[in-house]
Structure 1
């Protein structure tokens, strides 16, 4: 399930409000925040993430470590969901909140520099999320409800993007939006008694996963398929695509060009037109390389 099912900004605010350490840390004490994050990450991941001692220095150097380590953080969430350490709903919300934090980091680092205040803000927010992962739950359990209705705008945006890039027909896009609206009504019915049961949440999760699969912009385990992930898949598909050597060479050249463009967009804040252009080019490359979805 993707990040679109929750309300990232509100969720992060609630997580921060529930975190005494985050609330009590002064803005001008990033080193204390780093020590706290390092202690939590050390318990969760050991040193595999490579951020227990370097996250602050990476921000100081203008890098985006939260974006770089997103796959590892998401993998830990998926592992904990499978083992039962955290619920599916908590895992979905964590992914949503982490995606929102990566977006914030990208905006802060658009000029390849982070002020002390921005580093402190990111560290506090990241600390709140690592504490949730460590504790296995959010402090505000009631905020797990109404996630379907809250994700409608994001879902519609994803469908519109898929239609614009011709990955979906207009008829398919309209049907998806209709089915999502129907699921909102199902959720509203579950909420009539004021609380969604574990069984009802599981039903909503399953239906949301099915809708995500139909949109086609997510992969196994709920990982969002970024342009760079999709371009990597294009490269892997070439050997079995049955294309001539000349055609494969041309596709590799285009794949390299688009990979550089996608990497640049990850460091900057591209416009809507720029994102649409990259989406269209990647989709065209997938079609020519015969990538199987």
Structure 2
């Protein structure tokens, strides 16, 4: 029975192909695209087409639909320390540009040549991520990531995670970071220490956006030790940028030290839910002081 169904499907495809040959003189591109979509949907795997090719032939947008998953992979790499914050910013921006290109191609129907182009760009981007994106953010990465950052900020306002005033300040601080990057690169390169400084500042901005693990956003799901380490990174950047005064930074560090010792004491015992809730709340208060 299965062979009979396959034979019927194949006969249908051949009939469509024959009809397409007749109609091609009048509507070549439309007919060919329709035929390609039908054949791709029926025989995609047998013809060696990738999942993305098959989605495009069905009129889908696999790159757009996979953007969240790609960002999650980037976030995981940042948390694991295999990808720097600046490289992650460029990876996200480049993927957004790839989605824009997919949408542009889709206006008139994505041709075989355009599918090949999108596949090649996507493969290069994912390979760069898997390789750790070494050297991927050497120059102008902060400037290139501005549009993506502002999109995240606007989304945070819409979701009511931050106020419009906070959003304006974030965008202003990001512009200041672009200017700093420009000064660092004035001699034609950015040193390791300068890149580390830019990364720390980007981390601090990500923390203030509060849109997920990309910037090590505070979360009660993270261990207290991790949250305190992220807090110190954000505090250092905020102090350098003037967002937090030296006096306040010193006060925050004293309180963070107390909480670190409390966490160490808890780790040697079996703290109650009230104990862990208290520790989490205190760390959250410090995180808010850095983000404000």
Could you state the TM-score of these two structures normalised by the residue count of structure 1? 0.45
Between 1 and 2, higher relative CO (CA 8 Å, sep ≥ 6) is seen in 1
**TM-score under structure 2 length normalisation:** 0.45
